Structures are given as C-alpha cells and as structure tokens.
Amino acid sequence: MPRVEWRVALRALAGFAVGLALWVFLSPQYDRVIAAGAEKVLRAFEDPPVTRLRPAADRFVTVDREDFDPRSKRPAIPVHDLTFNVILLTALFAASKRPFSDRNISGFLLAALLLSVTHVFGMVAEVMSIYVAKLGMWSRVNYGDFSRNFWGVANHFYRLVLMYAIAFMLWWIFRDRGIEAPAPAKKKKKR
C-alpha cells in the first residue's frame, strides 16, 4: 500500500488553512483588481469599448454595457467562484519539505502572480459566455454559433477542471524540486 507522509499532509493542511483565510479576507479587494483587469482586456477588443465591470455586493461583479437598455437587468458574476484555486496553490507549495525556503517562497509568489493573470482570463471567459448565450435576442443577433460554442466551452472547461489544473501545473513548474513526493516504501529483504 502507498505510504502517506503525515508531515507532508499536515503542511498541506496548514497551507490550505492559510490559503482559505487569504481567499476569504482578501477577496473583496482582489475581486476589484481582477474585475479591472478583465474590463481592460474586454474593452481592448471592443469597438467601441462599452463593457463596464462594477463590483457589487456579496462578492459579485455586475456586467454592464453602455449600449444596453438602461431599464434592462444587468447580469452578475460571482468572482469568488473563479479565484478559489489559490487555496489549492497555497496548499501544494506548503506541502514542500522546506516551505519557507527562498526557492519555495519565490516559486509560490511567481506562481501566484501567474495564477492571477489566469483569473483575469477566467473572468473574461465568464463575461463572454454571458454575452454569447445568456442575453436572449441580443446574444443571437450579435454572436454566431462558433462564438457561442467557443466561449461556452472555454468557460465551462475553466470552471470544471482547468482552474485546478492551472494551479497544479504552476506548482509543478515552480516547486522546490525533488522533495515533495513521499519516498517509496522500502521492500523487506527476504531472509
């Protein structure tokens, strides 16, 4: 049977708790940064640029467009649903045998920075999936089947597995190598 290294598990648990605390307490500020970044990306590809992402209550961001009917209801996105993979990243780096080594800390910071870039694109995919499919006639008039399929799949893929895979891949790239995997159990010699 595989041998579980309990100290690794405990460090991962501690990292999980730290990541959860960061995510819970810093999310309101962090969500604003991500919304601002996603808004810039979306407006860069719009002509004229019309999208506005406004932070709202309960960690939601309201999707607004200057060309929407002012009387129509604005869709809202739960940003925290897109960013909680930071907890996974923190737990994975914390599981290292030397969690506070320079290499592990710098690797974590770099990975976290790149993860935040993916959060911006996660939010872009979320907004686009609303534009292409969830605004009734407006969506049908402005977007074709290809856009609907592309952004629908991109958003669902990100939410279902990609957000975890990104955290795992960033950890795999930037971890302090060769120390996180538990050593295999030694075989007993036959007497």
Partner 1 sequence: MQRNQVLFLVKFFVILLAAYLLIAWNPVNDRVIVPFTEGIARVSGAVLNFIGQDVTVNGTVIASARFGVNINNGCNGVEAMLILLASIVAFPASMKARALGLLLGAIAVQLLNLVRIVSLYLLGAYQPRLFDTFHTAVWQIIIILAAIGFFLIWSARVAPSRVASRA
Q: Which of residues 66-85 bind partner 1 (CB under 8 A)?
A: 80-81, 84-85
Q: Return the residue of 34, 38, 63, 92 that touches partner 1, per CB under 8 A.
A: 92
Contact 48, 65 (CB under 8 A): no
User: How many residues at the interface with partner 1, by CB under 8 A?
Assistant: 39
User: Judged by CB, which is closer to partner 1: 4, or 44?
Assistant: 4
Contacts of 102 (CB under 8 A, 6+ apart): none
CB 53 within 8 Å of CB 31: no
CB of 135 to partner 1, least distance (A): 22
CA 56, CA 76: separation in Å to the nearest integer? 8
Residue 7 as a binder of partner 1 (CB under 8 A): the answer is no
Q: For residue 136, state whether it binds partner 1 (rule: CB under 8 A).
A: no
Count Cα atoms within 13 angstroms, Cβ side, for 103: 11
**Between 12 and 38, whose beta carbon lies closer to partner 1?**
12
Residues 6+ apart with CB under 8 A from 21: none
The verdict on 87 binding partner 1 (CB under 8 A) reads: yes
- CA-to-CA distance for 14 and 35, rounded, in angstroms? 29
Alpha helices (H) along 134-144: 137-142
By CB under 8 A, is residue 159 in contact with partner 1?
yes
Residue 121 touching partner 1 (CB under 8 A): no
Binding site residues, partner 1, CB under 8 A = 2-4, 9, 12, 16, 19-20, 23-24, 80-81, 84-85, 87-88, 91-92, 153, 156-157, 159-162, 164-165, 168-169, 172-173, 177-178, 180-185
